Amino acid sequence: MKTLLRSALATALLATLLQFGFGTPAYATAPGVPTTSAAKTQLAGLTVAASTHTTTYDRDLFPTWDTISGTCNTRETVLKRDGTSVVVSSACAATSGKWYSPYDGATWTAASDVDIDHMVPLKNAWISGAWAWTTAKRESFANDLTNPQLWAVTDNVNQSKSDQSPDSWKPPLSSYYCTYSKAWVRVKYVWALTITSAEKSALTTMLATC
């Protein structure tokens, strides 16, 4: 397993490049990220409530990955969407390409170094209202390609995030707080999920960086 040191070094390198005037690498982004104004309006419209059903979460209640087209499932679809010069096998497995992880600024050339992150983690969705959904709706949420829910990111960063919300975890790159918070708000808004008061406070602070 790669160590977190690798991601930390990549983040430090990107910060140095930005300091000396080099631009951020171009990368694809998940669809549906709202404008700052829209995100603030949507955040204000979310219901603030304490988390519930915190001990009943089961990952299997959110089926992944769905077959999207031909032999390509959701993960493989996001890898192709978010990567550049991606080549896939007849089974749709990415055999080469390049992926820029916006959370930490790292670039990878092996799909095995990349995880598909759920912007709003499945457990967070569960304790925010998804406990009451049907399995079919939870499956749709876990495979949502219409909204900014799925992101190709460095595997270790995704593992570091785990099921945490913005009040307890933020992307290593503070320059990405704006986009991250707008995407998080959008997903919660579209799926009518609740937020905690601490989560709302963190999102408000992050949106202020836009």
pLDDT per residue rounded down to tens, the chain (210 residues): 444 344 444 444 443 333 323 334 455 679 999 999 999 999 999 999 999 999 999 999 999 999 999 999 999 999 999 999 999 999 999 999 999 999 999 999 999 999 999 999 999 999 999 999 999 999 999 999 999 999 999 999 999 999 999 999 999 999 999 999 999 999 999 999 999 999 999 999 999 999
| Calpha distance 107→94 (Å, rounded) | 15
Contact criterion met (CB below 8 Å) for 143 and 153: no
Domain total of the chain? 1
Q: What range defines the domain where residue 203 resides?
A: 4-207
The count of residues in the chain is 210
| Assessment of whether the complete model's pTM goes beyond 0.75 | yes
As given in the structure block, the two tokens for residue 74 are 């959701």
In b/e form, how buried is each residue of 83-108, taking b as 16+ CB within 10 angstroms?
beebebeeebebeebebbbbbbbbbb
| Calpha distance 18→117 (Å, rounded) | 25
Q: Helix, strand, or coil here: 97?
A: strand
Predicted confidence at residue 27, as pLDDT, reads 58
| Calpha distance 156→141 (Å, rounded) | 23
In b/e form, how buried is each residue of 160-199, taking b as 16+ CB within 10 angstroms?
bbebebbbeebbbbeebbbbbbbbbbbbbbbbebbbbeeb
Predicted confidence at residue 16, as pLDDT, reads 35
Predicted confidence at residue 185, as pLDDT, reads 98
